[in-house]
Amino acid sequence: MKTRRLLTFCLQFFVMAFLSFQLVSCHDDKGPDDPNNHNQGGKEEPTELVADNGTSGITYQLLVYSFCDSDGDGVGDFNGITSKLDYLQQMGVNALWLSPIHPASSYHGYDVLDYFDVNPDYGTMADFQNLIKKAHEKKIKVYIDYVLNHTSKDHPWFLSAISSETSEYRDYYILSKNPQADIKAGKIPMISSEGASGYDSGQWFSAVAGSGNGTMKAKFTLEWGSSPTLKIEKVNSISNSGTQNSGKYLYYGDGKMEQFYSNGGSTYTLSLELASSWGVLVRTSTTSWDGGTKWGAPSGKNQLAWGTALKLSNTDAQDILLPGMESVFYHSHFWTSYFADLNYGAADTCEKSGAFLAVTDAADKWINMGVDGFRLDAVKHIYHNANSEENPTFLKKFYDRCNKTYKACGHSDDIYMVAEHFSEASEVAHYYSALPAYFEFSFWWRLKDAINQGVGNTFANTLLSYRTLYAKYRPDFIEATKLSNHDEDRAGNDFGKNVAKEKLAAAVLLTAGGEPYVYQGEELGYYGTKSGGDEYVRTPMLWTSSVSSIADGKLGGKVDKGMLKTLKSVEAQSADETSLLNVYRTFGNLRATYKALSKGSFVPRQILNNTMLSAWYREYDGQKVLVVHNFCGGSVSASLSGEDLSNIIASNGEVSVRDGKLNLGGYGSAVFLQK
């Protein structure tokens, strides 16, 4: 018996060679030349097949700002990505999903300021065009993240919309002076199908629509009892008394802050001349906005009137409007004032709305430039009712509009579009009537549970049940399978930093059906949770042992550098034949070589009296492979009668075959080419 593991695939000219190395079983000290070892499988013969990353279906998700910094400013950029295309090709990557590339208010890019431009922190438009060109030369497609739900509240469209009821952009956003009443009356089409229950006070925020009285002289009185209040009064001159040591501050204008005066007791006063285009807030810290230190007033109850005390809140602390200011409420489905939701009107006629025409006009620009597709964010939250047909109706119209432009560029295929619908497969299924691909979160949730529980025998049938669901709505559905992503705790964390489990998860991902996504850093074993901030699951790539050279400039110091020092870099893992990175390369190139894996059918293979193994067939155009994975940490043996086990084309962990029986080490995997 010989024990082997396939390490990697090397493409040289038109010959594909498989390399292997010996492993020592934890249950058997016999070496490969032991006379009691009778090898009936594991021989990895040279083959005329050639790895073609252009057919692998593997997409790599990267964060532009933290992937690779080419100019030393601490921020990832387009040129940095271009410089690493060879690295991506070595994993068999067929496409890139770039995090939002547009100018934005936040580091992550999901609050867009301009759909027509690129973020200058990432480089120039010419740099982006060069990335597309160089990627295409390596058969790598480029997909960009496209945010249809909302813009930044600082987007010029929004600022114009709230400035005047006659603004040409007024209808681009969901605005109301009395949202609860308007929703109940059915006057807001994007939140109408749920009736009055569509109103959520936490999703409405006030914006100043009028500038108030300009510069004013005023006295503010802050009563700091069990229920704090703020009062404003007109004054002719500025005069303050007492001691300015209250620890309470009036925040206003362009980041200005003045401390209230104390005369003893719980009453504080401040007289000043001020101008503020947005209003005021009360703060109890000069350095932090957290921990209840920000005091405002609830939406709808945040208007100061001369001489009248206004009740304050530090849980719903909206900007306090000054006398004379007019306000309008805007909708933000994600419960944050930083996003302003776009208004597409009724789904049946959404393509006629100004917002739809604007975002598709911008999409045309990117398609004409050579972008191959789009990733759409949080699509179940575009229209308020996630369970109605409104979102699928809108998405189909958006897809058809983009596909028309794509076809006009001379493409014979259809444009690629994948959407995030953060739900179980049963809730996602009906959305397939609109778009070709959705992320299959259910795949990841079932996989991590199965591996952590050491039970694999139901996994393949579960995946098959999802495929059956999707097929009811779209025969040519694409499951965008994945492990973790930028909005979830890292896979490495979910597996308790167990690299053997991570290797198994990689092998499963890259041998199952669908079109898999690999998230930046997953191939290195990154771990982390969102508990301290999303930044901790968006860690920069570690290309060499130098942690100081990572692209962390956008992350505000929220980088676990201890993790980076513990894990091996790309450079180190490339040189380590047993590394997690090389498992990704092995199975990525396997998928790029065998179309049975990248394009084939998915049929579970039952293994009786065994709960630990998961197996399936992949078959395409006369080519058939058998895939077997061990979901537990101990060695498992199984008789696979009727199968051809003579040609192992890839393996991970301890794998051997003797007398028709397959032996898989803990968390091991094997792929057999069938005759």
The residues annotated as belonging to the active site are: 377, 420
What is the layout of strands, in order, in the sheet containing 175-176? 175-176, 327-331, 204-208
State the alpha helices, DSSP H only, in 108-188: 125-137, 156-163, 179-184
- Which residues, in sequence order, are CB contacts of 531 under 8 Å at separation 6+? none
Would you state the structure tokens that stand for residue 419, as one six-digit string?
A: 């959407």
Token pair belonging to 151? 């813009």
Pairwise CA distance, residues 130 & 77, whole Å: 12
| Helix segments in 84-124, DSSP class H | 85-89
What does the chain come to in residues?
A: 675
| Among 388, 376, 313, 310, CA closest to 347 | 388
Contact 146, 376 (CB under 8 A): yes
Q: Which of 228, 232, 394, 404 is nearest to 324 (CA)?
A: 232
Contact predicate 491/505, CB 8 Å: yes
Contact between 159 and 211 (Cβ < 8 Å): no
CA dihedral for 433, 100, 571, 24, sign (positive or negative): negative
Rounded to 5 degrees, what angle do the CA atoms 656, 661, 664 make? 45
Task: Round to the nearest angstrom and report the end-to-end CA distance of the chain.
Answer: 22
Q: Which two tokens stand for residue 386?
A: 């996630």
Task: Identify the bridge partners of residue 281 per DSSP, sorted by sequence position.
Answer: 251
* Residue 38, token pair as written in the block: 């009778």
Q: Give Cα separations from 25 to 38, 501, 656 (angstroms).
A: 15, 17, 10
Q: Nearest Cα to 459, choosing from 474, 449, 469?
A: 449
- Measured CA to CA, the distance from residue 272 to residue 274 in angstroms comes to 6
Q: Residues 353, 401: contact at Cβ < 8 Å?
A: no
Q: Which of 521, 405, 670 is nearest to 84 (CA)?
A: 521
Question: Can you say whether residue 609 is alpha, beta or left, with left for phi > 0 and alpha for psi between -120 and 50 degrees?
Answer: left
Question: Residue 398 is inside which H or E element, if any?
Answer: helix 390-408
Q: Which residues pair with 17 in a beta bridge?
A: 10
Q: Which residue has the tokens 């051997």?
A: 656
DSSP 3-state assignment of 22? Answer: strand
Beta bridge partners of 602: 618
What's the rounded Cα separation, in Å, for the pair 487 and 489? 7
**Sheet with 256-259: strands ordered across:** 256-259, 249-252, 280-283, 294-295
Q: Which of these, 240, 227, 185, 180, lies nearest to 204 by C-alpha position?
A: 180
CB of 383 closer than 8 Å to CB of 190: yes
- How far lies 275's CA from each of 44, 217, 283, 306, 343, in Å? 77, 9, 18, 16, 32
